[in-house]
Amino acid sequence: MGSLSPLDLPRPPTLVLRGQRFDAGRPAVMAIVNRTPDSFFSGNRHPDLDSAKMALEQAIADGADIIDVGGVRAGQDGEPVDTTEEISRVVPFLEYARTAYPDVVLSLDTWRADVARAAAGAGVDLVNDTWAGHDRDLVGVAAQIGAGYVVSHTGGLPPRTDPVDMTYGHDPLDVVVDVLRTLGRGAAIAEQCGIPPERILIDPTLDFGKTTVHSLEVLRHTADVASLGFPVLQAMSRKDFVGESLDLPPEERLEGSLAATAVAAWLGAAVFRSHDVRATRRVLDMVATIRGDRAPVRADRGTRATRATRATRGKAPGPDL
């Protein structure tokens, strides 16, 4: 038998935000706090400030590294929200979060440059542009306020547009080609605006401008996205591609979301946007440990120390069946 070696797995570049480093050994959980009454997932609707504060505290306790705050539902089914209303939803919460948790990484989920400008004083670390540069000024504002930037892919659709009859060509891989081209171009623009590469995240943006078949194909090619040389964000939590794969409503999509999370982590994604922080944290830590990028917290099993401990507890050593 020849020599055996682990698979040559993609190693995500390091993401650096607020002096913290996230990589294969320390993947980041991005907790979602929606300051909206109409989020597609009823478990993450926090229109009043007190509810949002409680969600923040729970996310931190559960192991969140990044808090992603949004004031507008992504889909077209939500209520209209103008710039003034969006600012009133997100800025007071961001100011509170920065005061309460000075070291936490704060992300602003918006496609509007004016909202990012208004949030600059709250110490925003990342601008999550989920609509692929629809407002061409947004990436420049992110650079001006010293924030990182998320480059996304929406297939050219404008904000709050659900995909209808989306096509990328005759070959199933054409959607992957378009994702790679768009993300590469967007990352280059962000660098040209002065954002360092270690503060640029690329997000294939599953469901946005994509059918379920498209999203699954792109997910399978997470390693190709990682090969672009920037940290990869995967935002998959309870999304429709999970629901349609399993024929389940948002409230029942946890296990499917975690399965997708494990696959994407194995293939080199470094940041995971999630409604379910504690479960996602545990999945990511386990995948990183299996990959060999993170050491087990304990490795006592089968050692003399374990046998001695069992003996003092009155339990004979042996396998746990």
Enumerate the domain spans of the chain: 17-312
d(CA 310, CA 321): 15
8 A C-beta contact, residue 254 and residue 279: yes
What the block records as the tokens of 265 is 């982590």
What DSSP element (H or E) covers 176? helix 174-192
Between vectors from CA 228 to CA 224 and to CA 232, what angle results, nearest 5°?
A: 80
Per residue of the chain (321 residues), give pLDDT as tens.
456 666 788 888 999 999 999 999 999 999 999 999 888 887 888 899 999 999 999 999 999 999 999 999 988 887 899 999 999 999 999 999 999 999 999 999 999 999 999 999 999 999 999 999 999 999 999 999 999 999 999 999 999 999 998 999 999 999 999 999 999 999 999 999 999 999 999 999 999 999 999 999 999 999 999 999 999 999 999 999 999 999 999 999 999 999 999 999 999 999 999 999 999 999 999 999 999 999 999 999 988 766 666 666 655 555 555
Check if CATH label 3.90.1150.10 holds for domain 17-312. no
Q: Dihedral sign, CA of 161, 163, 169, 172?
A: positive
